Amino acid sequence: MTKLWGGRFQKSAESWVDEFGASIGFDQQLVMEDLEGSVAHVTMLGAQGILSTEDVEKILGGLAELNRLAEAGELEFSVANEDIHLNLEKMLTDIIGPVGGKLHTGRSRNDQVATDVHLFLKKRVVEVIDLIETFQKTIVDKAEQHIETIAPGYTHLQRAQPISFGHHLMAYFWMLERDKERFNDSMKRIDILPLGAGAMAGTTFPIDRLKSAEYLGFSKVYENSMDAVSDRDFIVEFLSNASLLMTHLSRFAEEIIIWSTDEFKFIELDDAFSTGSSIMPQKKNPDMAELIRGKTGRVYGNLMGLLTVLKGTPLTYNKDMQEDKEGMFDTVQTILGSLKIFEGMVRTMTVNTERLHKAVHSDFSNATELADYLATKGMPFREAHEVTGKLVFTCIQRGIYLLDLPLKDMKAESNLIEEDVYEVLRPEAAVRRRHSLGGTGFDQVRLQIEKAKECIVPKQF
């Protein structure tokens, strides 16, 4: 079959060579965007008098037919036509005849492909932001139910201080809020149109790039045609934002996995989000959380992959850039899927409040309370820390906790300790009293949740 660019060639490549160079296997995902871009381009060519109204109408008719076939899933792509752009152009001429060849006037696949990807990411990023927000709402709902659920807080994965379980969950809300902000901000750089840059130098035809931008809903056009066809920063940025989002999901997934173990048993995942073992009948595995943790690796890989593809490419377009797409498609699918699953997993999980209560009453996470108590009574904090440490050691030796230690034994270390210490040492009191701004005190968590709700589109509440 002759290629659409076959004029200067004396022989054709063998099919396995074509296969290696083709991108149609994956860039067919850009079919709708490619058609959109073509509609805008040919409309602009008509408005500028570059093509006759008659030609433009024929082309628009053909594009509409392709659109219909694409929606019905009836387009048959071929590797011999290399990529989505040439496939569609070939189909167009098959439908409307040689006039279809006029569509490519003043355009190159280089500005065309970049346009398609800008259009594609514009839509996908909106979906990502929507899903982040749905997940945030679920986190707020769960957190609200557990403002007064006391849980152990950790540093170094060692019991540190008692916290509100709602406070712990809300930490993820704010990570996601930053992710949302980053994706929103990246829109500025996705929302720039490369169309009209031609192969790289612009065109001699009297095109109107701003008109194309208006038709396609872009707020800006690239200022430099060479930058326009070479820029893949916006994809790198998307992959970077996706990587950070996955970092957050992966950390949360890790906690879900730990919390579901027999050792912790802080939560139980719903059956619908768990899997069994083919050999061990008792097992209920947190596969979905593990998969999200695992998939983080491929998203990082996609980011590193594209950065590496780009680092040595001279201006302007190089075929290397065809490698920008698979990692991007894969990342879109991965983050949309992960957000959806995670939302369902958190919405349906059961928090084992009794177990959390028990956990926090059988540890030394109230030790800071005792040190603060002594410091409040005038003892220098360093000394208070030392005294408390000694009392913790005494308890460990006796196999008891601070709340079980008789007052006379406490007094043996410091006379400043009075009967009221037992109220201070209660984990509930420890949490309640932490009312510094952003702290885990119940009132602060309530305040935080109010602020969080303001970050979510109001109609969702």
Cα 274 to its chain centre, rounded Å, is 22
Site residues for ligand ARG, 115-144, by CB under 6 A, read: none
Instruction: Kindly state the number of chain residues that form the binding site for ligand ARG, as judged by CB under 6 A.
Output: 10
85 is a catalytic site residue: no
Contacts 24+ apart (CB under 8 A), 359-362: 359/151, 359/152, 359/266, 360/150, 360/151, 360/152, 360/162, 360/427, 361/401, 361/403, 361/427, 362/401
With beta carbons less than 8 A apart as the criterion, state whether 254 and 336 touch.
Answer: no
Number of Cβ within 10 Å of residue 185's Cβ equals: 11
Cβ distance to ligand ARG smaller for residue 319 or 408:
319
> What's the rounded Cα separation, in Å, for the pair 249 and 172?
8
| C-alpha Rg value of the chain to the nearest Å | 31
Q: Per CB under 6 A, does 27 bind ligand ARG?
A: yes
Least distance between ligand ARG and beta carbon 221 (Å): 19
Cβ distance to ligand ARG smaller for residue 91 or 351:
91
Least distance between ligand ARG and beta carbon 27 (Å): 6
Of the candidate residues 31, 44, 66, 113, the single one contacting ligand ARG (CB under 6 A): 113
Q: Per CB under 6 A, does 110 bind ligand ARG?
A: yes
Cβ distance to ligand ARG smaller for residue 310 or 349:
310
Between the alpha carbon of residue 335 and those of residues 257, 348, 434, the distances in Å are: 19, 20, 36
Cβ distance to ligand ARG smaller for residue 110 or 274:
110
| Catalytic member of 156, 230, 250, 361 | 156
Least distance between ligand ARG and beta carbon 107 (Å): 11
Least distance between ligand ARG and beta carbon 323 (Å): 8
Least distance between ligand ARG and beta carbon 7 (Å): 15
| Catalytic member of 15, 52, 219, 277 | 277
Least distance between ligand ARG and beta carbon 445 (Å): 49
Cβ distance to ligand ARG smaller for residue 113 or 374:
113
Between the alpha carbon of residue 415 and those of residues 172, 331, 374, 412, the distances in Å are: 43, 62, 10, 7
277 is a catalytic site residue: yes
Dihedral (CA of 152, 153, 159, 160) sign: negative
Cβ distance to ligand ARG smaller for residue 83 or 255:
83
> What's the rounded Cα separation, in Å, for the pair 305 and 316?
19
Least distance between ligand ARG and beta carbon 230 (Å): 11
Cβ distance to ligand ARG smaller for residue 162 or 194:
194
Q: Per CB under 6 A, does 83 bind ligand ARG?
A: yes
Site residues for ligand ARG, 297-326, by CB under 6 A, read: 317, 319, 321-322
Cβ distance to ligand ARG smaller for residue 40 or 321:
321
With beta carbons less than 8 A apart as the criterion, state whether 93 and 102 touch.
Answer: no
Task: Please state whether 9 falls in left (phi above 0), alpha (psi between -120 and 50) or beta.
Answer: beta
Site residues for ligand ARG, 363-422, by CB under 6 A, read: none
Least distance between ligand ARG and beta carbon 116 (Å): 9
Residue numbers of the site for ligand ARG (CB under 6 A)? 23, 27, 83, 109-110, 113, 317, 319, 321-322
Catalytic residues: 156, 277
